[in-house]
Structure 1
Amino acid sequence: MPTPDTFWTSLSTISVYLIVLAVPGGLIGIGAGLRGWALAGLAPLFTYLSLGSAGPWLSMVGLPYNTATAAAFSLLLAGIAFGVRALARSRGWVSQVPVPRGPTWSKRAHAAVIGCVLLATGLSMVVVLSAADDASSVFQRWDTVYHANGIRYIAETGDGSLVGMSTINWYPDGSFYPNAYHLVGALVYSISGASIPAALNGITVPIAGIFALALVAAIRQFGGRAAFAGSAAIVAGAATTGAYESVSSGLLPFALGIVLTPLAAVALQRFLTRPDVESGMVFTFTIVGLLLAHSSALFGAILFTAPLLLQRWFRREGVWWRDLLRMVPAGLAALVLAAPQILGAIAFTSSSYPYIPWASDIPVSSALAQLLTFRQVLQEPQMVLCVLLVAGILTARALGSMRWVAFSALLLSGMFVLVACYGALPWVISFSRPWWNDRYRLMSLAAIPLCLLAAHGLAELQRLLAKVAAGWDWVKARPRLPARIGVASAVLLVSVLAVGTNGFYTTANATAVAYAYHNGPESVGRPVPVTDFEVDAMREMGRLAEPGEMVLNDRLDGTAWLFAISGVRPVAGHYDPGVAPPDATYLSNHFREYDTNPEVRAAVERLNVRHVLLGSGSIKVDVLRAPGLRDLDGLPFLEKVYSNPDAMIYRILR
C-alpha cells in the first residue's frame, strides 16, 4: 500500500542510495589499491563494511550514528587503508607480481559490459517498481516490518548499536541483529527525506544490478571473456532465483548478502595469486563486509569459493597448508574489525530466541526441476535460462580458470536438495542452521553458480555462432566483416534472448517480487496486512500521540508498522511473537480486563500506554485478533477517537 511520496522523492531516494553505495566503499577501495572492475564490484560491499562497522563502534565510544559521523568513520577507514598501503610499499611488503588480469578487453568490450550491467539495473528497476505498483508501497511480508522500524529507529535516535533497533519490539534490552543493512538505510532515509517505505523500496530497486556488477567483477578477476561477463550481467537481471526471489519473501538483508557473495571469489583470487599486504587488506575487508551485510553471507561465500581452493590445490598452483597459513593474519584482522558483531552473535546463539526449522519434504524431482528452471515461487519455468544452463554445463571445460564454478554449483545445489527434500532430518537441520533450514534461502545461494553457468552457456553460443559465421565465404570476401562478427553475433543472441524471454522475464519476475507487496494474483482474496486505511490511521496516531507514549496494538495486524510510518512506538513492533516482552503478551491477552484487573493497569502504566490502535488485516491467514483486544467498542474505559473502514483508535480514559 502506498504512502505519500512524490515521484521525484522516490527517484532521489534511489539516486541517494546509489551514491551512498559508491562513495564510501569507493574511497576505501581506492585506498586499498583497487582499480577497474574490482573497484567497481567491491565498492558496494565496502560501503556496507564501513557503515556497518561505524554504527556499533560509534555506539561503543558514546557517539551518535548520523551522516556526519558515518562520513568521518568512512574517511578514517579509507585513510587507514591508504596509510597501510603506503607503509607496505615503502617497506617492500608489496609483491612485485602484477595483478593477474587475463585477456585484455578493448574499450568497446568494456563499454558493452557496462551496457549489460546498466541493462540489468534497468531490468531490476522495472521489476521491483512494477511489483510494488508504487515507489512508496509498503512491504507486506514477515520481516520487512522489523527492517522498516529498525531503519527509522537508527535515523531518529542515532543508536547504531547491534541491539538498539530491536528494542522497538524486544524491550527494554533489545536483541542482537547485524544491522549494516539498516545503517545504510538510515542514511538514505535521512538524506533523501522520503518515507520509510520509499527508502526501503529505493534500496531494493537496484538489487539485480548489484548482482550483475558482482558477477562481472568475478569474471574479470579470473580472466574471462567480455562476452561471458556481459552474459552474466544479463542473466543476473533475468533469473528469478538470483536476486528477486529473496525479495519476494521479504528477506531483504539476505537478498543483499546473496548478490554480494560472488565478490568473495574476487578478493580470494587476488590474495591467492598475489599474497601481500594490499591483497590481504582487501581480503580482510571482504570477509568483514560479507559478515556485516548478512551473517549467512560469509558462510555462503565460504561454500561458494571452497571449490576454488580445491581446484587450486589439485592443479598444484598452491600448497594447501601455505595458503591457509597466509589467510590467518587476514582472519585475525577481520576478528578485530568485526568484534562487536562476532561477540553479539555468540551471545545470541545462547539466548532463548527459538529456532524453528522448516522441515521441507518436497520430492527430489521437484527440487531438481526448480534448480534447472530458476524458479520456486513461479508456476512457469524459465526454459530459456534452463537451455543456457544445460549449454553451460556441457561446455564447462571451456571455463578455464573458472571450472571450479561447476563444482560450486554441484555443492550448493546438493545442499538445496537436501534441505528441500529431507529438511526434517536432524543433521540436515544442523548444517543448514545459518540459513534457518529454509529451502528458499538455499535456492538463492545455489543460484549464484547456476547463473554463472547459464551465462557461460550464452557466451559459448555466441562464440560458436561467431565461429560458424566467420567461416562463410561471403563473410571472408569482405575484409571488414570478420572483425565485426563477434559484436554482431552477441547483439543477435541478446535480441533473440529478449524476445524468447518476453523482455528478459521482466513480467514473470515482477510477479514473483509482487509476493512481497501482496500485489500478485496469489494474493487475491487474502487479507492485506497493511492497507491504505491503516496507513492513514497510523499517520493520525502520530498526530494524537504524546511524547514518550507507547500505543497498544495487535501483533499480527499491520499496525506493527506504526513506528516506521509515524515515529510512535507500538507495544508490538514486529509480527514475531518469539520471546515477546511479558507486558506486551499480558496486555494482548487481558487488556479487556482493564477496569477489574490491577495487573493490566500496572502494565499500562509501565509502558505509558494512552491509546489503542487496531487494524483489520493479518500477517497470517485465518488468525483471530488477540483475546485481550477483541470487541473493545462500548467498554467504559475507552473512547473511540478515530476510525476508518480498516482501523480504529481508542483513547484510554484513566
Structure 2
Amino acid sequence: MPTPDSIWIYASTIGVYLIVLLLPGGFLGWAAGLRGWALFGMAPLFTYLAAGLAGPWLAVVGLPFNPGTAAAVVLLLAAAALGLRRLAQARGWAPGEPDRPPVPWSRRAHLAVGACVLLATVLSVIVVLSAAGGASAIFQRWDTVYHANGIRYIAETGDGSLFGMSTINWYPDGSYYPNGYHLVGSLVYTLSGAAVPTVLNAVTVPVAGLFALSMVAMVRQFGGRAVLAGSAAVVAGAATSGAYESVSSGLLPFALGIVLTPLAALALDRFLRRPAPDTGMVLALAGVGLLVAHTSALVGAILFAFPLVVQRWWRREGKPLADLARVAPVGLGAALLAAPHLLGAVSFGSGSFPYNPWASDVPLLEAVSQLVLFRQFLTPALIWLSACLLVGVLMIRTLHRLRWIGFSALLLSGIFVLVASYGGLPWVITFSRPWWNDRYRLMALAAIPLCLLAAHGLAEAQRLLAKWAAGTSLARQRTSAGAPANALGPASAVLLIVTMAVVTNGFYSTANARVVGFAYQNWPESRYTDIPVTRDEVAAMLRMGELARPGEMVLNGRTDGTAWLYAITGVRPVAGHYDANVVPPDAAYLAAHFREYQQDPKVRAAVRRLNIRHVLLGSGSVLPDLPPEPGLRDLEGLPFLKQVYRNSDAVIYALRQPG
C-alpha cells in the first residue's frame, strides 16, 4: 500500500541515492588508486564501507551520524588512503602508475559494456516498479519493517551505533545488526525528504544494476573479453536467483551483500598479483565493506573467492604460506577498522536471540534442478539461461584466468544442496548459521558463479557465431569489396542479445516482477487474504502521528502491520517489529494482559513506564497463522478506552485514565 509521495519525489529520490551511492565511494576509490571499471565497480561498496564505519565509530566518540559527519569521514578515509598510496610510491613499495587490466578494450567495447550495464539497470527498475505496483508501495515481508524503522531512527536521532536502531523493538538495550544499509538509507532519507517506504523502494530499484556492475568490474580485472563482461551484465539483470529472490523475501541488506560479492575477487586478485600497501588497503576496505553491508556477505565472499586462490596455487603462481603471510596483515588491519562490528557480532552470537533453523528437506534432484534452472519458486524455469549455463560449463577451458569460477560454482552449489536437502542435520545447522540455515540465501550465493558461467556460455555462442559468419562466402565477398572484417563481432553480439530478449520475453522481466511482487504481496497466487499494511492502516498511522504527544509510545499489535508506525510517522510503537523473540518484558505483559487494565496493577505500571496514551490496532497479519495477541483482542466497548478514530482496517483508542 502506498504512502503519499508522488512519482516525481520517487524519481528524485532514486537520483539522490545514485549520487550518494557513487560519489563518496568513487572519491575514496580514486584516492586508493582505483581506475576504470575497477573504480566504478568498487564505488558502491566503498560508499557502504564509509557509512558503515562512520556510524559506529562516530557513536563511540559521541558524535551524531548525518550528511555532514558522514562526508567528513569520507574525506578522512580518502586522505588516509591517498597518503598511504603516496608513501608507498615514494618508498618504492608500489608503482607510480595505476594498475591496468591485462587485456585492452577498445572505446567501442567500453561503450557496449556500459550499455549492457545500463540495460540491466533498466530491467531492474522495470521489475521492481512492476512488482511494487506503485512508486511508494510498502514492503509487506517480515524484516522490511525493521529496516524501515532503522533508517528513520538513524536519521532522526543521529545514533549510528550497531545497537541503537534495534531499540525501536528491543528496548532499552537494542541488539546488534550490521547497519551499513540503514546508514546509507538514512542519508537518502535526509537528503531527499521522501517518506521511508519511498526511500526503501528507491534503494531497491537498481539492485540488479549493481549486480551487473560488480560482475563487469570483476570480469575486467581477470582479463575477460568485453563480450563476456556485457553478457555477465545481461545475465545479472535477468537471473531470478541472483538479486531478485533475495528482495522478494525481504532480505534487503542481504541482497545488497550478494550483488557486491564479486568485488571481493577483484580486490583479492589485485593484491595477490601485486602485493603492496595500496592493493592491500583496497582488499582490507573491500572486506570491511562487505561485512558492514551484511555479516554473511564477508563469509560468502571468502567462499566465493577461495577457488581463485586454489587455482593460483595449482598453477604455481603463488605459494600457500607466502600468500597467507601477505594476507594476514591485511586481515589484521581490516579487523581493527571493523572492531565495533566484530565485537557486536560476538555479543550477538553469545546473546539470547534464538537461532531457529529452517531444516529444509527438499528432494536432492529438485534442489539441483532449482540451481540449474535459476529459480526456486513462483516462476517457470529460465530455460534459455540454463542452456547458456550448459554451454558455459562445456566451454569452461576458454575462461582462462576465470576458470576458477567452475570450482566456485561447485563449492557454493554443493553448500546450497546440502542445506536445501539435509538442512535438519545438526552439523549442517551449525555450519550454515551465517545464513540462518536458509536455502534461499544460499541459492543467491550459488547464483553468482552460475550467472558467470551462463554469461560465458552466451559469450562463447557469440564467438562461435562470429567465427561461422566470417567463414561464409558472403562475408568473404564483403571483405574483398573493402567492408571491415571486424564488424562481424559487434554485429553477432547485438544479434545474440536481441535474440535473447525475444526468446526470454524481455529477459524474463515479467517472471522476475512476479517474484519480487511477493515482497509486496502483489502476486496472483498469494496465500494472504489480508496484507499486513493496507492503505487504510497507513491513514490510521498518519492520524496517530497527529494525535500522539512528544515522548509517547503507542500500544499496537505485533502482527497486523502497525509496527510500521515509527517509519511512517516517527511515533514509537510498543511493538516495532513482527518478531516476537526476546520481547521486552513490559511489551510482552501488555500483549498478554492489556484487557485487564482496570484489574491488574502490573498492566497500569507498564503503561505508565512506557508512557502509553493510545492504542492502535490494524487488521490482517504478516503471516496467516499469527493471530492477534490475547491482551489486544475485543477491546471495543471496554470502559477505560475511548475510540477516537476508525476506518475499515484500523482503529485508534485513547486511554481515559492513562496509567
Give the TM-score band, short-chain normalised.
over 0.9
Superposed displacement of residue 624, structure 1: 2.1
- Indicate which of 626, 629, 645 corresponds to 1:623: 626
Of residues 586, 590, 604, the one that matches 1:583 is 586
- Output the CA distance in 2 between the equivalents of 1:525 and 1:618: 8
Of the candidates 601, 611, 623, which is equivalent to residue 604 of structure 2? 601
Give me the whole-angstrom Cα distance separating, in 1, the residues matched to 2:242 and 2:647.
41
In the alignment, is the contact (CA less than 8 A) between 1:5 and 1:195 conserved in 2? Answer: yes
For residue 379 of structure 1, report the CA deviation from its aligned partner: 3.7
Q: Deviations over 1:423-477 (max 9, x none)?
A: 0001111111000000000000000000000000000000000000000122112
Aligned residues of 2:540 and 2:646 also touching (Cα < 8 A):
yes
Counterpart of 2:547 in structure 1: which amino acid?
L
**Matching residue's letter, 1:252:** L
Residue 489 of structure 2 is aligned with which of 483, 486, 493?
Answer: 486
Q: Helix, strand or coil: the match of 1:522? A: coil
Is 1:119 matched up with 2:119?
Answer: yes
Distance in 1 separating the partners of 2:157 and 2:135: 26
CA positional deviation for 1:622: 3.5
After TM superposition, the structure 1 stretch with the greater mean CA deviation from structure 2, 56-65 or 519-528, is 519-528
Question: CA offset at residue 86 of structure 1?
Answer: 1.1
Match of 2:283 in 1: 283
Match for residue 611 of structure 1?
A: 614
**Alpha-carbon shift at residue 525 of structure 1 (Å):** 5.3
TM-superposed deviation, 1:112 = 0.1
Identify the residue that residue 207 of structure 1 maps to in structure 2.
Answer: 207
Mapping for residues 443-454 of structure 1, pairs under 5 Å: 443-454=443-454
Distance 1:624 1:185 in 2: 32
Identity %: 66
Provide Cα deviations, 1:151-180, integer angstroms capped at 9, x if missing partner. Answer: 000000000000000000000011111100
Q: Structure 1 residue 95: deviation in Å?
A: 4.6
For structure 1, list consecutive stretches of 5 or more residues without a partner in the other structure.
Answer: none
- Does the 8 Å CA contact 2:94/2:277 hold for their aligned counterparts? yes
C-alpha separation in 2, matches of 1:119 and 1:97: 32
Q: Aligned ranges for residues 189-204 of structure 1 at < 5 Å? A: 189-204=189-204
Residue pair 1:101, 1:223 contacting (<8 A) in 2 also: yes
Distance 1:95 1:87 in 2: 11
| TM-score for the superposition, normalised by structure 2 | 0.98
CA deviation profile, 1:43-83 (whole Å, cap 9, x unmatched): 10000000110000111111111011111111111111111
Post-superposition offset of 1:625: 1.1
- Contact 2:419–2:438 (8 Å) recurs in 1: yes
Counterpart pick for 1:505 among 505, 508, 531: 508
Q: Is residue 557 of structure 2 the alignment partner of residue 554 of structure 1?
A: yes
Task: Give the secondary structure class of the aligned counterpart of 2:614.
Answer: strand
Q: Which amino acid aligns with 1:131?
A: A
Which residue of 1 is the match for residue 178 of structure 2?
A: 178
**Gapped regions of structure 2 (runs ≥ 5):** none
In the alignment, the residues of structure 1 paired with residue 98 and residue 76 of structure 2 have an alpha-carbon distance, to the nearest angstrom, of 28
TM-score (norm 1): 0.99
* Other structure's SS at 1:649 match: strand
CA distance in 1, matches of 2:600, 2:98: 76
Give the letter aligned to residue 265 of structure 1: A
| Residue 141 of structure 2 is aligned to residue 138 of structure 1 | no
Quote the residue 2:66 is aligned against.
66
Bigger shift: residues 97-106 or 304-313? 97-106
Alpha-carbon distance in structure 2 between the residues aligned to 1:12 and 1:162: 29
Q: Distance in 1 between matches of 2:354 and 2:462?
A: 51
* Correspondences of 1:201-240 after superposition (within 5 Å): 201-240=201-240
Residue 461 (1) aligns with residue 484 (2): no
Are residue 306 (structure 1) and residue 306 (structure 2) matched?
Answer: yes
- 1:524 deviates by 6.0
Kindly indicate whether the alpha-carbon contact (under 8 Å) linking 1:154 and 1:165 is maintained by their aligned counterparts in 2: yes
Does the residue aligned with 1:408 lie in a helix, a strand or coil? helix
Deviations 1:197-217 (A, max 9, x none): 000000000000000000000
Looking at structure 2, the residues matched to 501 and 514 of structure 1 have their Cα atoms a distance apart, in angstroms, of 19
Q: Which residue of 2 aligns with 1:523?
A: 526
Which residue in the other structure is 2:88 paired with?
Answer: 88
The alignment partner of 2:360 has SS state of: coil
Assess if the C-alpha contact under 8 Å between 2:299 and 2:434 holds in 1: yes
CA RMSD in angstroms, aligned pairs only: 0.9
Distance 2:97 2:198 in 1: 47
Q: Secondary structure in 1 aligned to 2:653?
A: strand
2:379–2:515 Cα contact (<8 Å) kept: no
Residue 164 of structure 1 aligns with an amino acid whose one-letter code is G
Pair 1:541 & 2:548 matched: no
Query: What code does the residue aligned with 1:22 have?
Result: L
Q: Secondary structure at the match of 1:177?
A: coil
CA contact (8 A) 2:558 2:578 kept: yes
The one-character-per-residue Cα deviations of 1:188-242 (angstroms, maximum 9, x if unpaired) are 0000010000000000000000000000000000000000000000000000000
Distance 1:325 1:88 in 2: 19
Structure 1 residues 341, 360: CA separation in 2 closer, same or farther (over 3 Å shift)?
same
* 1:382-423 Cα distance to aligned partner (Å, 9 max, x none): 000000000100000110000000000000000000000000
Instruction: Check if 1:49 corresponds to 2:52.
Output: no
SS at match of 1:477: helix
